[in-house]
Amino acid sequence: MRFLRSLLPLLAVGGLLPSGCGRVEISLDSPPVVIATAARYPVRSDLMAVGDLGAPPKWFSPGYLPLRTARLGDRSPDPEFAAQLVPKVARLLPEPRPGAILDPETGLTGTERDDIGQLLDSYFGIPAVPAVKMLTADEAKMLKLEEALAPVKGKAPKDVVTEMLAEADSAKGALGLDDSTLARGGVLYRRWCLQCHGQTGAGDGAQSVRMAAPPRDYRRGLFKFVSCFPTSPPRTGELGKARKDDLKRTIRNGLDGSMMPPFAQLSERELDDLAGYVIHLSARGEAEFEVIARVIGLKVSPRDDDPTYSREFAEQRIVEKLLLTLGNWKRAADAPIPVPPDNCPTETDRLESAVRGYKAFAGTCAGCHQDYGRAEQLKFDLWGTVVQPRNLTLGVYRGGRRGEDLYARVYGGIYPSTMPDSKAKAVAPAPGKPDEIWDVVHFLQALGDPRDRKLLQQLDPSIKIEP
Ligand code: HEC
Ligand code: HEC
């Protein structure tokens, strides 16, 4: 371990690792794993979706990745098909809103790409020595962070920087992103996750091809099945963050109905190490996205007060995002969704609650989950992947089937899939008054169960579920 630490200062000065420095051994409880130290995380080159892309046309199907397909071109297993597809995809995507799709391959010069790669290495390490590097106050001063940040009303720039540094530092501690945890997490990740989620967490591992829902791309800093909802008004980047426990639940239980398998054999510590490494990849990806988008932005949509490109400009963007992102992870961790106890002790209570839930569902959910999710109603999620509002008559849920899981899902919505939250419905229910979110949950549970479905329709003949 000491060897690992002694490497970090080398990375921290922003240089590459000396070539030919061999291999590093990382010790886990199981036999040590040896990896080449020279390997680096590649700089992103795939297309980047910025913001909501609207609704895809009917000839797309759920899980489809138009951005990746558009890129395949000659490299596609079926170049002729790809050639037909590219103009269609291109016509659909960027035109209505300039800057909706960015291309790091053509948007960055060689120097910009090299700078960004080296800076990301210095803050996030390399696969053999992953890190989340914090700045000292002096380093922040040298980087002229005070001048570089957007002004915050009513606060001196110096205080803003001091607060951001302190917040990120405490977040790093609370999330357990120390060097040895990350090194162990990296080894486990390469063993169990790499083949689907890819080296940088882009969701582009060898096995990712043709999965109905693609493996999650962590680089947007967004997750779907979470149980936190930061206080209002949420800060940019806070929504869609997961609690570490959410990541551990996903890894332990898998995501039902998708290719994400359960890893029930892993110990508590292994789950913790893996979740830490996912956060590391995610924070690195967010900083990378930000710096690439800003550097391309200098060229395609310059603002009046924009500087010209410099390595310092790139570093400021990376550091700003790193600090903000860690703060956001911490804020999400501190905002678990409060789930009140289920107050329907008898079967009759539960069915009556489900009937009330049906009415709420018909009002707010059925627009997307048309025919309870059996009718096609495609959407883009924030990665630019095509998603279909879930078919809720099947009773299969990615984020867990327990009442508490469904409650959290309805309360918080699914931010990256544009499913809205229902937080307002949960505000201080009066004593003895039914909780509308639990009503919806009881309806969902009845909807997924053929026997309950029958009982529900008998109880209220206006409810029609069977096609
Ligand atoms: C066989 C392929 C496969 C493997 C192996 C795999 N995953 Fe996944 N993973 C997926 C897919 C597919 C999804 C997305 C499912 C969806 O969106 O419905 C996913 C989603 C996730 C998510 C996102 C959950 C959310 O709330 O958005 C996390 C975190 C995750 N995986 C972590 C891991 C980790 C850690 C490992 C290794 C221990 C791993 N996965 C191994 C396929 C895989
Ligand atoms: C703007 C469209 C939209 C609205 C409105 C909407 N949903 Fe969804 N919902 C989706 C999409 C899209 C998904 C699939 C998410 C994915 O896998 O990316 C989904 C998934 C779900 C899931 C599956 C969660 C899991 O763990 O697999 C449930 C349950 C659900 N919605 C319930 C509801 C309820 C209840 C309401 C009303 C309070 C609602 N939805 C309103 C779009 C919507």
Q: Domain extents for the chain? A: 38-44+104-333, 347-459
Q: Is 220 in the pocket of ligand 1 (CB under 6 A)?
A: no
pLDDT level of residue 14 (50, 70, 90 thresholds): very low
**In this predicted structure, what is the pLDDT of residue 33?**
53
β-strand 23-26 against 33-36: which pairing, if any?
Answer: antiparallel
**Interior/surface letters 194-211, b for 16+ CB within 10 angstroms, e for the rest:** bebbbbbbbbbbeebeeb
Q: Is 60 in the pocket of ligand 2 (CB under 6 A)?
A: no
| 322, amino acid identity | L
Bridge partners (DSSP) listed for residue 379: 387
Ligand nearest to the CA of 210: 1
**In this predicted structure, what is the pLDDT of residue 182?**
97
Q: Which two tokens stand for residue 145?
A: 């962070």
Which residue owns the Cα nearest ligand 2 atom 12?
389
Bridge partners (DSSP) listed for residue 419: 414
Q: Which residues contact 333 (CB under 8 A, 6 or more apart)?
A: 174, 175, 228, 243, 244
Calpha distance 69→92 (Å, rounded): 13
Q: Where are the beta strands (DSSP E) in 114-222?
A: 125-126, 129-130
Task: Find the 438 Cα to ligand 2 centroid distance in Å.
Answer: 16
Q: Which two tokens stand for residue 204?
A: 């582009």
CA 355 to each of CA 52, 430, 449: distance values in angstroms, whole numbers, following the listed order: 34, 20, 14
Three-state SS sequence of 350-381: HHHHHHHHHHHHHHHCCCCCHHHHCCCCCEEC
**In this predicted structure, what is the pLDDT of residue 395?**
95
Q: Is 207 in the pocket of ligand 1 (CB under 6 A)?
A: yes
**In this predicted structure, what is the pLDDT of residue 12?**
40
> Do the beta carbons of residue 252 and residue 259 sit within 8 Å?
no
**In this predicted structure, what is the pLDDT of residue 466?**
81
Instruction: Encode pLDDT of 64-106 as tens digits.
Output: 777 777 676 666 556 666 566 666 666 655 444 566 778 888 8
Task: Find the 419 Cα to ligand 1 centroid distance in Å.
Answer: 20
Query: For 340-366, what is the mean pLDDT?
Result: 93
pTM of the predicted model as reported, rounded to 2 decimal places: 0.90
Query: Running DSSP on this structure, what letter comes out for residue 177?
Result: -
Q: Is 350 in the pocket of ligand 1 (CB under 6 A)?
A: no
> Do the beta carbons of residue 116 and residue 108 sit within 8 Å?
yes
Q: Which two tokens stand for residue 217?
A: 């791309």
Calpha distance 182→314 (Å, rounded): 25
Ligand nearest to the CA of 273: 1
Q: Is 194 in the pocket of ligand 1 (CB under 6 A)?
A: no
CA 45 to each of CA 66, 68, 292: distance values in angstroms, whole numbers, following the listed order: 15, 11, 10
- Nearest ligand 2 atom to the CA of 405 is 26
- pLDDT above 90 covers a percentage of the chain that reads 62
The larger pLDDT score, comparing residue 429 to residue 410, is at 410
Calpha distance 376→70 (Å, rounded): 23
Q: Is 364 in the pocket of ligand 2 (CB under 6 A)?
A: yes
Task: Find the 44 Cα to ligand 1 centroid distance in Å.
Answer: 20
Q: Is 259 in the pocket of ligand 1 (CB under 6 A)?
A: yes
The three-class DSSP label of residue 101 is strand
Task: Find the 309 Cα to ligand 2 centroid distance in Å.
Answer: 42
Average pLDDT over the chain reads 86
Task: Find the 422 Cα to ligand 2 centroid distance in Å.
Answer: 11
Ligand nearest to the CA of 207: 1
Q: What is the CATH code for 347-459?
A: 1.10.760
> Do the beta carbons of residue 169 and residue 163 sit within 8 Å?
no
Calpha distance 349→371 (Å, rounded): 25
